[in-house]
Structure formats: structure tokens, C-alpha cells
Amino acid sequence: MCEVSAPHLLDTLETSGYSSLHKPSTPYARWTFRKIVTFENSSKLYALNSPLKESYGKTLECGSILMQDGDTFHFWKCRKKWCTTCQNIRTADLINGYKHLLEDFKDPQMLVLTMRNCKGRELESQYKKMVHAFKLANRNIKKTHGIQIDGIRTWECTYNTQEDTYHPHFNVIVEGREVAELIRSYWMDFWNKRAHGSSRIFCQSIRPIATQKDMVEAFKYSTKLSVEHKEEVKAQDWIFQCTKGKRLAQPFGKLKRVKIEEKEHHEEKVEEAESRTEIWFYENDFKTYRNSYGECLASDEEVNNYKKERIAKKRKKHEERHKPK
């Protein structure tokens, strides 16, 4: 049996600061909310008739049936990168797998490597160039400076609706400001030489990772799935098509040995659960999980409260980020 306690870690981190305001609750509202969000987004993606249609269809089924055995819940997960439920589990597993970065690193730094936005048709080749540029930088740093760099990088891509362009970038965690600056300078050198000065220094940020919360940010590379416009759904689909089968979180140096296992079966123990044997079905018409007696796993009120809490948290985070220094 797989023991997955990681989501608890993630959610503890996600909700820190609110714990004093609310009594500890079951994760049912959170599960329901994520299922609603993922179902809505996957439905839009599914409606596009993209080559990934079948895969989007699998996400519609992800976590649709929860099997409760005592205080433990089991469900099948799709493991797709556009699935909110699976991404949250995966992010938590990544953090658990790589948290020794924080423990071992004396001065962990978060580096963002970017370049000029590209058109959709260039996205796949841009991804390949980025991987190449990053490897080249590492190789040159080892050869010229004798430094073997250890760390992890994640690939992220955002979309600019007005310009219809894509903004792919790497989030990199390495040890020490000096190393981060070296990577940045080789990275910029690559793009300036080959792409006619297209990298911009103000986008290449470096900041120290002080807490586990900052670490979480580094892994949240494709969880922004709330898309409102049809065009954005198409852009999401295009990003997923271009990155199909590619590993978006890539450790390098000695961290290569750490393996993150992704199982289809997910199991989660809920300490506060009323012990029983039950099957819960997600019913999209009611936007909730119900059993055969029509009993709801989480009430509308609980789900709405969870949603409000998330919005408040996001707003707070946004304000903190944009606070004048």
C-alpha cells in the first residue's frame, strides 16, 4: 500500500496563516473544490478536439469515485499535468523528494531564466533550445570554473492574450548566489549570441529561498488552470501538446538519483474521518461527491468557505508581492 502523507504537508503550507482563524477541518471541501475546477477545465479542453482529447477525457474521470475504507480514502488518478488534483499531489511528492535541497543547501537560491516571448509555432523548438542552453551553461561552468552544479529546474509557460505569444521560462533552485549569477550570465550569453539580444536582465530574477513556502512556489509550475477565455484554453492545449511526454521538473547534478514515483492509485488517510465503508461518486450536476443515499461528502457551504479562503489567501499573497519595498 502506498502511503501518501505529502498532500498534508502541502496543504499545511498552503493554509499556514489561517490556522488560527479556523479549526482543523477535513479535506473534503478541498477535494470537492479541486474536482470541480479540474472537471470544468478538462471539459473545455476536451471540447477542443485536440490530439490530446483522449487524455483530457481521462482527467474527467480522475478522482471521480472515492472508496472510503475506515478512515482511508482511495481513488484512481490520471497523473496528467493539467489536472489540479494530480498536480497538487505531484508537487507535494516533489517537495518531499527534494526537500533536502533546503536542508543541505546553506544558501538556496531561486533563479528565473527567461527570454523573449515566442509565437505558438516556435514553442516546441524554444523548449529544446532552453534545455540545450541550460545544459551548455552547466557544462561551461564545470569546465571553466570547476563547479559541479546541483539543483532542480522546473519549466513553466504563461500566455499573453493580447499579443498571442508564449512566455516559457525555467525556475531553478541552486546553492549560493554566486552560482545562480554564473548560470544567469551563461544563459544570457547564449540568447544574446544566438537570438540577437533577446534576453532581458530584469526578467532574470535571483532571490534567496528562505522558507518551505518559497520552495512550494518553485514547483507550482502548471497549476494555473483557471482559464476563462476560449483562446486561453487553446493556448493551454498548445502548451500541453508541445510538452507531451517531457519532464517539466528536472533535477541535475547529484540530485539525478532521486526518483519520484507516480502511481495511478492514490490513498489518503483522514484523521478526522468518521470510520465507515462507503463509495462517493462525483456528480457534476450537483458539483459534489455523494453516496448512494444522496449524502454529500462536503456541503456547498463548506466548499464555498474553502473557495473564499483560497481567494483571500491569493489576494494576501498578491498584496505581499506588490508591496512597495
Give the list of residues 6+ apart from residue 244 with CB closer than 8 angstroms, or none. Answer: 52
- Of 62 and 111, nearer to Zn ion (C-beta) is 62
CB 10 within 8 A of CB 95: yes
Q: Is 176 exposed, middle or buried (0-12, 13-18, 19+ CB in 10 A)?
A: middle
**Closest separation between CB of residue 68 and Zn ion, Å?**
19
Name the phi and psi angles at 104, rounded to 5.
Answer: -85, -35
**Closest separation between CB of residue 86 and Zn ion, Å?**
3
**Closest separation between CB of residue 60 and Zn ion, Å?**
10
Tell me the three state secondary structure of residue 268.
strand
**Closest separation between CB of residue 201 and Zn ion, Å?**
38
**Closest separation between CB of residue 61 and Zn ion, Å?**
9
CB hemisphere CA count around 137 (13 angstroms): 24
- Of 53 and 119, nearer to Zn ion (C-beta) is 53
Give the list of residues 6+ apart from residue 174 with CB closer than 8 angstroms, or none. Answer: 108, 109, 111, 149, 150, 151, 180, 183
Find residue 193's DSSP bridge partners: none
Q: How far is CA 324 from the centre of its chain?
A: 27
**Closest separation between CB of residue 59 and Zn ion, Å?**
5
CA dist 110 and 222 (Å) reads 17
CB 215 within 8 A of CB 101: yes
**Closest separation between CB of residue 14 and Zn ion, Å?**
18
- Of 81 and 153, nearer to Zn ion (C-beta) is 81
- Of 55 and 85, nearer to Zn ion (C-beta) is 85
- Of 83 and 180, nearer to Zn ion (C-beta) is 83
- Of 86 and 235, nearer to Zn ion (C-beta) is 86
- Of 83 and 152, nearer to Zn ion (C-beta) is 83
**Closest separation between CB of residue 159 and Zn ion, Å?**
22
**Closest separation between CB of residue 283 and Zn ion, Å?**
18
Which cell numbers in the block locate residue 84? 489540479
- Of 59 and 138, nearer to Zn ion (C-beta) is 59
Q: How many CB atoms lie within 10 A of CB 212?
A: 15
Binding site for Zn ion (CB under 5 A): 62, 77-78, 83, 85-86
Please give the single-letter amino acid code of residue 198.
S
What is the layout of strands, in order, in the sheet containing 249-252? 206-208, 108-114, 165-175, 151-160, 249-252
- The count of residues in the chain is 325
- Of 27 and 108, nearer to Zn ion (C-beta) is 27
CA dist 207 and 227 (Å) reads 29
